[in-house]
């Protein structure tokens, strides 16, 4: 009930329309990966996913923000079943990065899908940042995952970084055609392909 109310609030303040370039087929483990511009992002993607898929879809969220108080932690962990990950202020060591990916893979199990933002942080100007390597390493652990790009338009303007009150603008959520991991593809090539799949939705 709380999740539904928050989802309705996110849709209302964003005025978001949802567009599917290709419908999802069946129930399977997926990674919905999007551009990151505001704290409304994962709620809006979750709200836009077909209702029968929401219960098994868990957002990946930064522990520094969503674990930063009892209310936010409750919403993230108890309402949305988020998987909280630690984000380092400085360079991330390979060991910490591996531990984070292993934690996500374990929390997904054999049934849960996730919502993730491969940029790793919010863009301040709406431009898509380079993808970090976590998506690649997760797919190496779980090569069967279906990857669904989700482009969010105007969210960084509706709730800019550092602001608490949303600005009423019209947003857009665009779901692209799923892509698959190729074990023979180099890391940089895979990340470029995934990023291009997201960029291509900008004008859909």
Taking only the tens place, the pLDDT of each residue in 98-135 is 888 999 999 999 999 999 999 887 776 667 889 999 99
Other beta carbons less than 10 A from residue 111's beta carbon: 9
Percent of all residues in the chain with a pLDDT value above 70, rounded to a whole number = 84
pLDDT score for 180: 96
Sequence spans of domains, the chain: 15-199
Check residue 158 and give its pLDDT. Answer: 47
Q: Which two tokens stand for residue 136?
A: 């690649």
| Mean pLDDT taken over the chain | 85
Tell me, what's the pLDDT at 94? 74
Report the predicted TM-score, pTM, of the whole model to 2 decimal places. 0.88
Q: Count CA atoms closer than 13 A to 164's CA, side-chain side.
A: 0
pLDDT tens-digit readout, 142-200:
999 999 999 998 765 544 455 544 544 567 899 999 999 999 999 999 999 999 999 99
User: For residues 131 and 34, is the Cβ–Cβ distance under 8 A?
Assistant: no
Q: Identify whether the C-beta of residue 111 lies closer than 8 Å to the C-beta of residue 56.
A: yes
Instruction: Quote the pLDDT of residue 30.
Output: 98
Yes or no: domain 15-199 corresponds to CATH 2.115.10.20: no
Cα dihedral value 98, 102, 105, 107, nearest 10: -130
């Amino acid at each position: 009930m709380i999740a539904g109310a928050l989802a309705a609030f996110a849709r209302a303040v964003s005025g978001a329309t949802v567009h599917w370039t290709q419908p999802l087929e069946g129930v399977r483990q997926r990674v919905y990966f999007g551009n990151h511009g505001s704290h409304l992002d994962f709620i809006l993607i979750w709200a836009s996913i077909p209702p029968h898929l929401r219960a098994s879809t868990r957002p990946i969220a930064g522990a520094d923000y969503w674990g930063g108080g009892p209310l936010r932690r409750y919403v993230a962990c108890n309402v949305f079943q988020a998987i909280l990950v630690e984000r380092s202020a400085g360079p991330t060591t390979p060991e910490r990065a591996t531990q984070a990916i292993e934690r996500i893979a374990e929390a997904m199990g054999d049934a849960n899908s996730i919502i993730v933002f491969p940029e790793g942080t919010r863009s301040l100007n709406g431009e898509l940042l380079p993808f970090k390597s976590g998506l690649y390493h997760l797919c190496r652990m779980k090569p069967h995952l279906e990857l669904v790009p989700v482009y969010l338009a105007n969210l960084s303007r509706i709730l800019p970084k550092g602001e608490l009150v949303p600005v009423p603008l019209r947003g857009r959520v665009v779901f692209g055609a799923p892509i698959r991991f190729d074990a023979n593809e180099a890391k940089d090539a895979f990340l470029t392909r995934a990023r291009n799949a997201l960029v291509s939705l900008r004008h859909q």
